[in-house]
Amino acid sequence: MKEQFIDWNPSGASAEIVNAAEAICRDYYQQGYNLTLRQLYYQFVARGLIANTTQSYKRLGSIVDSARLAGLLDWSYIEDRTRNVYRTDGADESPEEAIAATAGGYARALWNDQPNHVEVWVEKEALAGVIQRAANEVGVNYFACRGYVSQSEMYSSGKRFRLLSQRGKKCTILHLGDHDPSGIDMTRDIETRLSMFSGYLDEPDVRRIALNMDQIEELNPPPNPAKQTDSRFAAYLEEYGDESWELDALDPTTLHDLIVSEVRGLRDEDLWAEAVARQERERRQLTAVSDRWAEVIDLVDDGGSDD
């Protein structure tokens, strides 16, 4: 929705940026994606519309902010995935509406019968929306690490994977992070600490699926100077040079397809089809309860009477 709160009529370069932002955001919105400002910025850089500098990023943010306030950009195009209001009050629906909604959203733990347990971990919370869409499609859990994973969360994960391993599951983490000194090291850190906390019982397989050098060479995302103040810079410099690349620079569709492909390679499709069929059957049963709610209430009331 476009809503106007201020009077602002951009011209020249500012107008060109607004028009380009509208076209880029509309294209991704039609594909089902809302972008963060950082993702939009990298779309501009990749298209050669602006330079890859801090100043350009700040200028784009200022123009996009004004454009939204002036009713020139749809508010739903850009989202902040790190700041949200959490609802704690009850539902608006009647009981039958609540059951109907439950039927539509009911989902089994479809991976329970699979030999593998797969999770997708991403370095940045700002990319959680993109990861969530892919994870939902293939039915796996996902986790926004927000940099290095906290000790508490790593401990909990290690114990979770140990329990799954004891049940005969092979556990795999698909990790996505920036290609910079710390981003590369985060994958190693996850593997090291998970091995420790899981008790070395069939250690989880930690696979870094992005961002890797072969993808950089193929997709050519815009580089940034690697942070020289990072304690891991020297080792990174020796292996990769003085440039780094952000995961945000990859097209959301590319990230989505990469995750879906990796997960499907770890999934037994015959077992998956059986689980999906059971899920659909149970959804139909819930829908039938909703459609015949009055009869259900009469049955419950009769069963609870003193007669």
Q: Residues 288-302: pLDDT tens digits? A: 888 888 888 888 887
| Better-scored residue on pLDDT, 207 or 100 | 207
Confidence of residue 305 (pLDDT cuts 50, 70, 90): low
Of all residues in the chain, what percent are helix, strand and coil, respectively (each to 5)? Answer: 55, 10, 35
Residue 190 has pLDDT above 90, yes or no: yes
Candidates 211, 130, 111, 119; CA nearest to 156 is: 119
Candidates 159, 129, 161, 124; CA nearest to 145 is: 124
Task: Give pLDDT, residue 182.
Answer: 98
Task: Give pLDDT, residue 15.
Answer: 97
Four-way CATH pick for 115-267: 3.40.1360.10, 3.90.660.10, 3.90.226.10, 2.60.40.420? 3.40.1360.10
Task: Give pLDDT, residue 50.
Answer: 95
Task: Give pLDDT, residue 88.
Answer: 61
How many degrees, rounded to 5, is the angle at CA 190 between CA 183 and CA 250? 35
Q: What is the DSSP letter of 275?
A: H
End-to-end CA distance of the chain: 57
The pTM of the full predicted model, rounded to 2 decimals, is 0.80
Candidates 76, 87, 62; CA nearest to 25 is: 76
Candidates 230, 290, 237; CA nearest to 98 is: 290
Task: Give pLDDT, residue 90.
Answer: 58
Spell out the domain ranges in the chain.
12-69, 115-267
Q: Which residues contact 273 (CB under 8 A, 6 or more apart)?
A: none
